[in-house]
Amino acid sequence: MLSKSRFHGRIWAKLARESAALLRPGDRVLAAVSGGPDSVCLAHLVKKLAERRPMGLRLVHFDHGLRAGSKRDASFVRSLGRRLGVPVTVERLPVRAAARREGRTLEEAGRALRYLALARLARRARCNKVATGHQLDDQAEQLLLHLLRGASLKGLAGIPRRRPLAPGVEVVRPLLGLTRREVLDYLAYHRLRYRSDPTNRSTRFTRNWVRLRLLPLLESKNPRVREQLAALAEEVATLAK
């Protein structure tokens, strides 16, 4: 486990820089929490920030109904909310039916339904920010996915730190400067438990193939490839504006 000085110097310093412009005093934040490591880190971070500056916080969990453990995930997030003293909303999304109806993959349908629901729930709760747990490795994976699919210059910009979601509501991603390893270090430092999704180990999903096969192969030639891909996405985002 990291020492207190290393945690604050290496991880908290990054989070403080990232969140300074994204989360302001007076914000009302709806944080999307799956129960996985990234989202548990996000929920804990925003709660800590809300203790230092006046901000409202609510958690939302989406049950996609795609696997047997989904009810246990929802129960875990409710328990997390109780430990943090934060209200939790759980909503079931008809992902499989939407995928069939619209001719989309389960991944595409789930993402579309989640953001529609986040916009609706944020407006209902009068939240002006929706926070998601995307981190630096997600950024690298997204860039590679766009390259594989033949994206435009704008597509290669990857995951933005902030973007409009609905009138008066903005999506923010305060973990985008942390690697997946640093997220796990954060959780270990604070002794936070999280849930593991077994579907994340299936390479039949292209994103998982990129994460489990392609990125490790690239990393064997360049240990800093994740950081460099994320930096490239940032540069492209600046050029594409």
Taking only the tens place, the pLDDT of each residue in 217-228 is 999 999 999 999
Contact 240, 154 (CB under 8 A): yes
In a domain, 233, yes or no: no
Cα atoms in the Cβ-side hemisphere of radius 13 Å centred on 95: 20
> What is the residue whose two structure tokens read 């996609």?
64
In a domain, 218, yes or no: no
Distance CA 161, CA 17 (A): 12
In a domain, 95, yes or no: yes
Q: Which residues of the chain have pLDDT under 50?
A: none
For the chain, what is the largest distance between any 2 Cα atoms, rounded to a whole number of angstroms? Answer: 53
Write down the pTM of the prediction: 0.93
Dihedral of the CA atoms 220, 224, 227, 232 (nearest 10)? Answer: -90
Which CATH number is 8's domain given?
3.40.50.620
Structure confidence by residue, pLDDT tens digits, 158-204:
899 999 999 999 999 999 999 999 999 999 999 999 998 877 788 88
In a domain, 164, yes or no: yes
Amino acid of residue 16 = A
Amino acid of residue 143 = L
In a domain, 26, yes or no: yes
228: which residues sit within 8 A by CB, 6+ positions away? 222
Tell me the average pLDDT of the chain. Answer: 92
Q: What is the pLDDT of residue 2?
A: 85
Number of domains in the chain: 1
Residue 77, domain extent: 4-136+160-199
In a domain, 125, yes or no: yes
In a domain, 72, yes or no: yes
Q: What is the pLDDT of residue 240?
A: 67
